[in-house]
Amino acid sequence: MCQQCGDQNHVEKKLTRRDMLKYMGAWGITAGASTLVSGLAGAAGLDRLDEITKSGAVKSGKVKQLTFLQTTDIHGQLLTHPELFVDNGQIKWRNTGGMSRIATVFNQVKRENPGRTMAIDTGDCFEHSGTVTLSKGEAMVPIMNKVGYDLALPGNWEVEYGPQRMVYLMNKYNFPVVCSNMYWGEDGAVDGPDIFPPFYVKEMAGVRIGFIGHNDPFTKIRQHPSYHEGIQFRQPVDATAKLVEILKTEYKCDLVIMLAHLGLAQQVHLAKQPQTAGVDFLLGGDTHERTYEPIVGGNMPVVEPGSFGSFVGRLDVFVEDGKLKDYNYKLIVVDEHKYKEDHEVKKVVERERAPYASIIDRKLGESKDYLYRYSVLETPMDNLITDAIADAASVDIGISNGYRYGAPISPGPITVDHLYCMLPPATNLKRGIATGKQIWDWLEVELENVFATDATKRNGGWLIRLSGMELVVTLGNTKGSRVQSIKVRGQDIQLDKEYTVAGSEREGEPMHVIWRLKNLKNVERMAITNYDAIEMFLQKHPVVDYKIEGRVVATDAQGLVFSDVPGTNYRFR
């Protein structure tokens, strides 16, 4: 009997310390790989759910229906907010999300399929809003517990407050956390003790499901060095086959589901590797992509349900005699007009937000238009940030990271809360001097990080953000040949000329580096932070009106460039 819900047919298998020690030793075993169950519905991911559930086999109980709900990349967005959609090349806006509305979705589906529904989050949860950042993630814990999650995976940003804080917070969840490839160890350590259990097993309606979870090993490159001291990562492809064998042979699992926070391109790549045979589904995260239909063509269907709590992915699987017979996937838009707020969750959100409201609700300025990210090459939100940095530091070029997170901001007030949504905790500005050649070579590397044809080499967010520069690129060119021209303050860049550059500091990074631009001269740490810079800029310009300005133009793309995944028909919308 399950201790949480009391269902006789719902059994949880938790790992004991003995299990952990036993299977830590199993990493050296040569593992066979199971084959993917045939007969999946997944070709178009059509919403045939009503048709399937009304079939005689399902109604009689011969075929078991199990439901998995997924969120990812919530990034601390507690409230309903504007969300960007692309319809026939045009941007449309709808108000979506909010933890209280997610709870309504969860409760509705759990009533439809009681005792056979799991709610899962696949990472980047407790960062990047004023409430969660000022509480160092603590405010998110009671909210997640109240919403009704059943399982979680850490994402690359879960290390933002340091590894010990990550473990402390996730241990306060009243549901399990799984991660198969994070371990304790100093740089150079080839292995070490797992930070979280490497797998989790749950039984519902007589069907046993094994879960494995992989966080992004590029976290060591992407995040501030101080965030992840003492943490190392195994490569997901190296760990998967052994875990599948353990789950299939030792735990007799009927299904294996991979939770992943690797980014959609890397997840599609992983699904095609022979070591992942035996995994039935991959529930992904990290790149904020929206798979309205599963991506198929590898060992398992791959899905990713957007970001900021604007979407919930719903996967229904149908199992007969321990064999997967069919499935249906739907991406649910958490629209404010369709899903009312759950009052109990709303109370918890208001309670957790209250201690910080006077700080985060302070108005800094006003925007005439939406401030948003999503566009790969340039965004209105980052144009504001980089202009503020360049102005505060009095430099030729202002730069900021190509962050993916940051829910859109409506026309109207820009508040302190929005600063926390746009950027990590405040850090000091650094400024230094680089030659034109250094800048050109650096931009080639940044473009490769975003547009590498080899998915395993895409190791960051979107393109670096720029102020004071105009860049023309050809995205389809090979590594090192994408940059076509650069202008600095309206003049063609001169490779032997020196330019002043500023950006925010990444804690733990060498002094000569600003956002991966290395070996700068005369680098100084300024007394003001990136948050100070934006506030000072908005004092000078209390009403801003940012749009896409053509700071980065691609010769082989028209209009806004949104993300895609090579080798698939996926397009952001």
Distance between CA atoms of residues 131 and 378, nearest Å? 28
More confident residue, 21 or 249: 249
Distance between CA atoms of residues 235 and 217, nearest Å? 7
Question: Which regions of the chain carry the CATH code 3.60.21.10?
Answer: 11-349
Distance between CA atoms of residues 174 and 146, nearest Å? 9
Distance between CA atoms of residues 2 and 126, nearest Å? 28
Q: What is the mean pLDDT of residues 92-107?
A: 98
C-alpha of 139 from chain center: 19
87: amino acid identity, one letter: D
Tens digits of residue pLDDT in 370-388: 999 999 999 999 999 999 9
Local confidence band at 459 (pLDDT 50, 70, 90 cut-offs): confident
More confident residue, 47 or 459: 459
Q: How many CB atoms lie within 10 A of CB 53?
A: 16
For residue 199, the surrounding DSSP H or E stretch is strand 199-204
Contacts of 524 (CB under 8 A, 6+ apart): 430, 431, 432
Asked whether the beta carbons of 76 and 132 are under 8 A apart, the reply is yes
281: amino acid identity, one letter: F
pLDDT at residue 232, rounded to an integer: 93
C-alpha of 231 from chain center: 19
pLDDT at 22 over 80: no
Question: Which regions of the chain carry the CATH code 3.90.780.10?
Answer: 362-554
Give strand pairing partners of 398. 467, 502
pLDDT at 32 over 50: no
Output DSSP code: residue 514. B
| Averaged pLDDT score across all residues of the chain | 90
pLDDT at 39 over 70: no
Q: What dihedral angle (degrees, nearest 10) is formed by the CA atoms of 41, 119, 83, 389?
A: -120
Give strand pairing partners of 182. 233
Distance between CA atoms of residues 527 and 505, nearest Å? 12
Tens digits of residue pLDDT in 473-488: 999 999 999 999 999 9
More confident residue, 493 or 54: 493
Asked whether the beta carbons of 303 and 313 are under 8 A apart, the reply is yes
pLDDT at 439 over 50: yes
pLDDT at 524 over 60: yes
Q: Which CATH architecture has domain 362-554?
A: Alpha-Beta Complex (3.90)
- Paired sense of beta strands 428-435 and 521-529, if any: antiparallel
Contacts of 514 (CB under 8 A, 6+ apart): 399, 430, 431, 432, 501, 502, 503, 505, 520, 523
Q: What is the mean pLDDT of residues 191-213?
A: 97
Percent of the chain at pLDDT above 70? 92
Output DSSP code: residue 102. H
Can you tell me which residue has the tokens 């969300």?
83
Local confidence band at 13 (pLDDT 50, 70, 90 cut-offs): very low
Contacts of 301 (CB under 8 A, 6+ apart): 40, 42, 45, 281, 282, 294, 295, 327, 329
pLDDT at residue 37, rounded to an integer: 30
Tens digits of residue pLDDT in 118-172: 999 999 999 999 999 999 999 999 999 999 999 999 999 999 999 999 999 999 9
Using DSSP, how many helices (H) and how many strands (E) does the chain show?
Answer: 16, 27
Contacts of 46 (CB under 8 A, 6+ apart): 293, 328
With H, G, I as helix, E, B as strand and everything else as coil, classify residue 133.
helix
pLDDT at residue 56, rounded to an integer: 84
Encoding tokens for residue 251?
């735990």
pLDDT at residue 177, rounded to an integer: 98
The dihedral built from the CA positions of residue 237, 213, 78 and 98, taken in this order, carries a sign that is: positive
Class of residue 187 by CB neighbours under 10 A (exposed 0-12, middle 13-18, buried 19+): exposed
244-253, 429-438, 502-511, 518-527: the lowest-pLDDT one: 502-511
More confident residue, 72 or 89: 72
Distance between CA atoms of residues 289 and 570, nearest Å? 9
Asked whether the beta carbons of 92 and 384 are under 8 A apart, the reply is no
Tens digits of residue pLDDT in 280-322: 999 999 999 999 999 999 999 999 999 999 999 999 999 999 9
Asked whether the beta carbons of 467 and 379 are under 8 A apart, the reply is no
Output DSSP code: residue 83. E
Output DSSP code: residue 53. H
Distance between CA atoms of residues 141 and 99, nearest Å? 12
Distance between CA atoms of residues 452 and 464, nearest Å? 15
> How far apart are the two ends of the chain, measured CA to CA in Å?
43
pLDDT at residue 47, rounded to an integer: 57
Distance between CA atoms of residues 35 and 12, nearest Å? 25
Q: What is the mean pLDDT of residues 233-244?
A: 93
Q: Which of 127, 265, 242 is nearest to 181 (CA)?
A: 242
The CATH number assigned to the domain with range 11-349 reads 3.60.21.10
Q: What is the mean pLDDT of residues 174-200?
A: 94
